[in-house]
């Protein structure tokens, strides 16, 4: 994986993770999902773990522990996962096919094109452009049904 200079990080367990009770972890997990996913705060370029912790009345160590233990990734990867999933939908939506990658990147909350490309490639093994070209070249299920006459 020489492309985008990505390296796998070694896993290590932070000592503070064991200090958070399972009940509190479950509670914080639901609150984190509500804010990041349901309220779509992942689209906000400036929404940090620190801001999330303030909104939940806790600290960043607890946020980090919950995201690591419950989602098996760090905060940045967690947020970027939702950004990439939305970007994937936008990239194959014919309504957005005229948008440049920078515009898609901006819409889903990335600060710059480089971090968008690196995160996209890390998750999907291909660039956003290649993903778009591959999917737009395939007929949609509606187009297939129309051709079959059903």
Quick: pLDDT tens for 82-92.
Answer: 999 999 999 99
Question: What's the rounded Cα separation, in Å, for the pair 48 and 54?
Answer: 10
Residue 149 predicted with pLDDT over 80? no
Question: What's the rounded Cα separation, in Å, for the pair 12 and 89?
Answer: 33
Residue 1 predicted with pLDDT over 50? no
Distance set, CA 113 to CA 1, 22, 117, 122 (Å): 19, 38, 6, 14
The predicted structure's pLDDT at residue 136: 83
- Tokens standing for residue 140: 């949609």
pLDDT band at 8 (very low <50, low <70, confident <90, very high): low
Mean pLDDT of 110-133: 96
Residue 13 predicted with pLDDT over 90? no
Helix or strand or coil: residue 11? coil
Distance set, CA 61 to CA 12, 31, 70 (Å): 15, 15, 14
Mean pLDDT of 102-121: 97
How many percent of the chain have pLDDT more than 90?
Answer: 75
pTM of the model: 0.81
């Amino acid at each position: 994986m020489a492309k985008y200079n990505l390296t796998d990080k070694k896993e290590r367990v932070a000592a503070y993770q064991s200090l958070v009770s399972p009940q509190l972890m479950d509670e914080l997990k639901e609150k984190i999902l509500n804010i990041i996913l349901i309220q779509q705060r992942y689209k906000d370029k400036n929404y940090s773990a620190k801001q999330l912790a303030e909104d939940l009345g806790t600290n960043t160590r607890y946020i980090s522990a919950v995201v690591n233990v419950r989602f098996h990734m760090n905060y940045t990867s967690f947020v970027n996962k939702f950004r990439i999933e939305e970007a994937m939908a936008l990239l194959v939506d014919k309504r957005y096919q005229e948008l440049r990658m920078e515009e898609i990147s901006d819409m889903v909350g990335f600060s710059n094109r480089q971090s968008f490309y690196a995160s996209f490639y890390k998750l999907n093994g291909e660039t956003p452009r290649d993903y778009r070209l591959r999917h737009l070249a395939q007929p949609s299920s509606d187009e297939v049904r129309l051709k079959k006459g059903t």
